[in-house]
């Protein structure tokens, strides 16, 4: 699996054999970790491999979230934004719909960023009922949502994204509605069918 993701072929270059063993040892053989690390190493030189593995080896063996986080940290800012949107809102939906929603309100289309996320094995595109759908491993989804949660652990209203109805209602009740509400207003009726745009606007007027 390391060879397939790092080299895009089944057989490893003999020069990288020892490094490949380090990858296997540090990932504890977990398929998801192997995919993520292998994809992160793709296209890198021998020295870049060693540098990347030094980073991975500083992470405790049982901390899969931190291993996954290294791949996220290597993304460009726009790619990170697209990844977090998918992790928080769009896992399991059709690719065409996700692209439309991600492009809404943005000057740049998400296509290139989505391709990078696929190459990094952070998301997958599968065919379901004759439609292409966006898939994401539960652990990767958890990692993305934890990144957002850590933006403000104690106050949901200060986070860049809200996906939990409990957190959203808390924000309104505490009168701490921030720019998030206007930024993601077009997404609310999609995320929570019971919160239509009209209702959200009424709540904004009531609590602001």
- pLDDT computed for residue 186 by the predictor: 42
Give the domain ranges of the chain: 2-73, 77-138, 153-207
- List the chain pLDDT tens, one digit each, 208 residues: 444 544 455 555 565 566 666 666 655 556 777 777 777 777 777 777 777 777 777 766 556 777 788 889 989 999 999 999 999 989 999 999 999 988 886 888 899 999 999 998 899 999 988 899 999 998 899 999 999 999 999 988 788 888 887 887 777 777 655 545 544 544 544 455 445 555 555 665 665 5
What is the reported pLDDT for 189? 45
SS3 134: strand
Coil vs helix vs strand at 173: helix
Cα dihedral sign for 175, 179, 184, 186? positive
Residue 24, Cβ density class (10 Å: 0-12 exposed, 13-18 middle, ≥19 buried): middle
Alpha-carbon gap, residue 118 to 111, rounded angstroms: 11
Give pTM, 2 decimals: 0.71
- Alpha-carbon torsion (189, 187, 172, 144), positive or negative: positive
Q: Name the CATH architecture for the domain at 77-138.
A: Orthogonal Bundle (1.10)
């Amino acid at each position: 699996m390391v060879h397939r993701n790092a080299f895009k072929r089944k057989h490893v270059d003999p020069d990288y054999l020892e490094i490949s063993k380090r990858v296997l040892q540090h990932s504890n053989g977990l398929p998801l970790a192997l995919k993520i690390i292998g994809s992160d190493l793709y296209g890198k030189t021998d020295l870049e491999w060693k540098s990347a593995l030094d980073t991975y080896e500083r992470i405790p063996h049982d901390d899969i979230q931190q291993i996954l986080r290294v791949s996220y940290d290597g993304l460009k800012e726009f790619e990170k934004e697209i990844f977090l949107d998918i992790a928080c809102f769009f896992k399991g939906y059709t690719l065409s719909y996700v692209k439309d929603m991600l492009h809404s309100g943005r000057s740049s289309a998400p296509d290139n960023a989505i391709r990078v996320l696929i190459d990094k094995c952070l998301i997958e595109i599968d065919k379901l009922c004759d439609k292409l759908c966006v898939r994401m491993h539960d652990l990767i989804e958890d990692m993305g949502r934890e990144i957002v949660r850590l933006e403000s652990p104690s106050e949901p209203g200060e986070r860049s994204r809200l996906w939990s109805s409990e957190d959203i209602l808390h924000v309104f009740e505490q009168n701490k509605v921030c720019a998030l509400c206007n930024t993601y207003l077009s997404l609310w009726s999609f995320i929570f069918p019971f919160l239509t745009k009209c209702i959200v606007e009424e709540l904004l007027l009531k609590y602001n």
